[in-house]
Amino acid sequence: MSRADPVTWPATGPACPAPRTDTERVLLGDGSGGKLCAALVRERFLPHFGNPILGQLGDGALLELGGGSLVVSTDTFVVRPLEFPGGDIGALAIHGTVNDVAMMGARPRYLAAGFVLEEGLEIALLDRIVATMANAAREAGVLLVTADTKVVDRGNADGLYVNTTGIGEPIPGFAPAPALARPGDRILVSGPLGRHGMAIMAAREGLALQTEIASDTANLWPLVERLHETAGADVHVLRDPTRGGLASALNEIAAAARIGVQIDEGALAVPDDVRAACELLGLDPLYVANEGVLVAFLSPDAADRALAAVRDHPLGREATLIGEAVPRHPGTVVMKTGLGGTRIVDLLPGDQLPRIC
């Protein structure tokens, strides 16, 4: 199947924000994890900084140093509001970076943190965030080893931004990467979709939903460890579908590996409350951020035992196999819909929800 095939297009919902019209200034959508964001990196940063390691544009980088190797990944967290059901910016700053290290097949070990505090930030709020952050680090088994604090004038930084850089220890012989997906691979998703993004959205907009949606923010290393134990090198790709949601993660993998991706709408777990909130707001859960879900591409004969191992962990109880990699339509993600049709699931230009992590 190619893009010329008869599929429902464009994706349903407000999945197509206006394309970039201003090329002289940075747009909010440039930070979305979508097409604009990819273009910003490709056009503004890579021409200056290009090198083979950065050029891989993974969740992090695998480095050689003094005879050993390590994985490093960095992320800045600018989420609003700072606290939300299920977590806060501190928990997110640990999980987000620990997960990026884990998706490279490395055990997260150390963290560096850079705080930007707004003058006037309540000390009590800072204390709560630091406590959550420290707890999340402890639970994930990572040590904060160095940090930096800056204070900026009132009216900047929305209270607090925090950057975390994670350092992990690669598991020898285990190096999943988006480019390693192969036709035939089965695609595992470890949990239900959209909780983090919709929790943020509901908290930000003061939505009065029947049930409160809590963020799924979590350390995914235990699932990675199980996948490694049960499937080893049969785990070709690991990715946490954060900014831009599952749709963006699958598109990036399809592009990196030059394979097609075919998924089944019926196999996707979307909680009822997330689905209801998305319908209310006209959002597509495929594009909503997750912070406690991973996607794995697995050799077909390893898929079932990997699924069983993931389901055996509390974080993975609702794991499903949602589709497969195919040799057709390389670079394109196609979904069989509940109505029996198919539609292309494209990368969004910008994001449905800005500043969700």
Q: How far apart are CA 244 and CA 32, in angstroms?
A: 7
> Does 25 engage in binding with a second copy (CB under 8 A)?
yes
How many positions of this chain bind a second copy (CB under 8 A)?
A: 82
| 115, 116, 121, 126, 233 from 152: Cα distances, Å | 10, 7, 10, 15, 47
Q: What is the DSSP letter of 8?
A: B
Q: How far apart are CA 228 and CA 223, in angstroms?
A: 9
3, 156, 233, 338: which one binds a second copy (CB under 8 A): 156
> For residues 34 and 316, which CB has a smaller minimum distance to a second copy in the complex?
34
Neighbouring residues of 174: CB distance < 8 A, sequence distance ≥ 6: 105, 228, 232, 233, 235
> Does 240 engage in binding with a second copy (CB under 8 A)?
no
Closest CA to 325 of 179, 216, 219, 213: 179
Q: What is the dihedral of CA 104, 106, 107, 108, to 10 degrees?
A: -60
> Does 204 engage in binding with a second copy (CB under 8 A)?
no
- Show the site string, 28-57: x = touches a second copy by CB under 8 A, - = not: xxxxx----x--xx--xx--xx-x-xx---
> Does 175 engage in binding with a second copy (CB under 8 A)?
no
> Does 155 engage in binding with a second copy (CB under 8 A)?
yes
Strand order in the sheet with 143-152: 61-65, 68-77, 160-170, 106-118, 143-152
> Does 242 engage in binding with a second copy (CB under 8 A)?
no
> Does 165 engage in binding with a second copy (CB under 8 A)?
yes
> Does 75 engage in binding with a second copy (CB under 8 A)?
yes
CA quadruple 174, 180, 186, 187: dihedral sign: positive
In DSSP terms, which residues pair with 245 in a beta bridge? none
> For residues 130 and 281, which CB has a smaller minimum distance to a second copy in the complex?
130
- Show the site string, 258-287: x = touches a second copy by CB under 8 A, - = not: ------------------------------
> For residues 104 and 322, which CB has a smaller minimum distance to a second copy in the complex?
104
| 60, 90, 348 from 73: Cα distances, Å | 4, 17, 24
> Does 210 engage in binding with a second copy (CB under 8 A)?
no
- Show the site string, 112-151: x = touches a second copy by CB under 8 A, - = not: xxxxxxxxxxxxx-xx--xx-xx--x-----xxxxxxxxx
> Does 65 engage in binding with a second copy (CB under 8 A)?
yes
> Does 24 engage in binding with a second copy (CB under 8 A)?
yes
> For residues 90 and 323, which CB has a smaller minimum distance to a second copy in the complex?
90
> Does 161 engage in binding with a second copy (CB under 8 A)?
yes
